[in-house]
Amino acid sequence: MRGLMILAAAGLVAGCATTDAADKTAPAPMVCNAEAAKAHVGKTASQERGAAILKEAGARTLRWGPPRGAWTMDYRQDRVNVRYDEGMVITGITCG
């Protein structure tokens, strides 16, 4: 019984512990800047070019848009979108 009381008291004390949210710094959100990667329009789409576009745009994720492909309409400020045509030539770079 005494052990149970000690356990209950420890639970009460732990329940009173607080954390200061101001001490925790969240990483800054990555925001896409498509203008910084526009030089890739007209170039051949490739994995290497996609990595360069992702870095130059400052985005967290990259979404390829194949010819006649459908996209969801969800907007993400940390995503860069790259559309290309049948010849694998990049036709547009946008954010969202």
Under 8 Å between Cβ of 84 and 40: no
The number of beta carbons lying within 10 Å of the beta carbon of residue 57 is: 27
pLDDT for position 22 = 54
- Judge if pTM exceeds 0.75: no
Average the pLDDT over 35-41 and give the result. 97
pLDDT in tens, 73-96: 889 999 999 999 999 999 999 999
**Residue 71 — left, alpha, or beta (φ > 0 → left; ψ -120 to 50 → alpha)?**
beta
Under 8 Å between Cβ of 45 and 88: yes
Q: Is the pLDDT of residue 18 over 60?
A: no
pLDDT in tens, 20-36: 455 566 666 778 999 99
| All domains in the chain, ordered by first residue | 2-95 (3.30.10.10)
Q: Is the pLDDT of residue 14 over 60?
A: no
